[in-house]
Amino acid sequence: MTEAVLNVSGLTKSFQMHHLDNTLHAFRDVNFSLKQGEFVLLKGPNGVGKSTLLRTIYRTYLPVDGQVMFHSARGDIDLANAADIDVALLRAEEIGFVTQFLVARPRVAAEEIVAEPLRLAGVAPEDALDQARHWLNVFGVKEKLWKAYPTTFSGGEQQKVNLARALILPRRLLLLDEPTASLDAGARAALTQRLDELKKEGVAMIGVFHHPGDVADLVDRTIELTIVSEERRPADVAV
């Protein structure tokens, strides 16, 4: 039987809008599980809370209620209540988050940015750079840009650097927040191929995609979020 990586139960998130004296409900009572090597696609209209759900799983946001039980290689841990130091450790070793934006540091070369996760994992500096250059090439970043600063790149080129960095190390769980939004067709194809490789290695993935057709062959299951209303309180997930 395939091992579960993530169990989400009763997850609820809202934002208190103090300046408007109002509460914005993102999602309510979300329940699902995610297994090794499973690829789950999040769907729903704009503003329904898809990205917020991913960020809540990643613990960028704290939920109002519910559990996010992550089955780590070190043991089970509820991300909704875990200590910050434990969350940071899991992000470094087991949980990846891929967004459409790169937070580029000034005067740091693209190849150095991509190599950093490998170096932190103990890979020798030159080996880390070799692998970084390989993945920059895979995602279509021209060699003349490898030593350049991504702060000067276009949005699409920054996203390629972002993907190379985020996907250079296999993770136990990978969260994908519209990673194809700024990519050309070639880079989208490279991303799909890399995700297919990770899926075959047993990485569990859940994500939102600007071009869902790109990953149609990878999707095992779809979760659709519905808009939360105060008048109607349905289960928010249809699996």
* DSSP secondary structure string for all residues of 157-175: HHHHHHHHHHTSS--SEEE
Phi first, then psi: give them for residue 19, nearest 5 degrees.
Answer: -70, -20
Task: Read off the pLDDT of residues 47-86 as tens digits, 9 standing for 90 and up.
Answer: 889 999 999 999 999 999 999 999 999 999 999 999 999 9
Band the pLDDT of 23: cuts 50, 70, 90.
confident
Residue 38 has pLDDT above 70, yes or no: yes
Name, in order, each residue with C-beta under 8 angstroms of 118's C-beta and a sequence gap of 6 or more: 127, 128, 131, 132, 168, 169
Residue 238 has pLDDT above 90, yes or no: no
Task: Read off the pLDDT of residues 113-153 as tens digits, 9 standing for 90 and up.
Answer: 999 999 999 999 999 999 999 999 999 999 999 999 999 99
Q: Which CATH number characterizes residue 222's domain?
A: 3.40.50.300
Which pLDDT score, from 0 to 100, does residue 105 have? 84
Looking at residues 164-181, what average pLDDT do you find?
93
* Sequence-distant contacts of 42-46: CB under 8 A, at least 24 apart: 42/206, 42/207, 42/208, 42/222, 42/223, 42/224, 42/225, 43/212, 43/222, 43/223, 43/224, 43/225, 44/224, 44/225, 44/226, 44/227, 45/227
Q: What is the dihedral of CA 155, 156, 157, 158, to 10 degrees?
A: 50
The answer to whether residues 56 and 13 touch, using CB atoms and an 8 Å cutoff, is yes
Helix (H) or strand (E) holding 116: helix 110-120
The whole domain housing 55 covers: 4-238
Band the pLDDT of 211: cuts 50, 70, 90.
confident
Q: What is the Cα–Cα distance from 15 to 106, expressed in whole angstroms?
A: 33
Looking at residues 84-96, what average pLDDT do you find?
95
Q: What is the b/e burial string over 195-205, where b = at least 16 CB atoms within 10 angstroms of the residue's CB?
A: beebbeeebbb
How many domains does the structure of the chain reveal?
1
Residue 186 has pLDDT above 70, yes or no: yes
Q: What is the Cα–Cα distance from 162 to 128, expressed in whole angstroms?
A: 16
Residue 229 has pLDDT above 70, yes or no: no
Residue 230 has pLDDT above 60, yes or no: no
Looking at residues 213-228, what average pLDDT do you find?
92
Which pLDDT score, from 0 to 100, does residue 35 have? 97
The answer to whether residues 3 and 36 touch, using CB atoms and an 8 Å cutoff, is yes
Nearest to 188, CA basis, from 198, 180, 176: 180
Which pLDDT score, from 0 to 100, does residue 236 have? 40
Place of tokens 């967004």: 99
3-class secondary-structure state, position 96: strand
Band the pLDDT of 1: cuts 50, 70, 90.
low
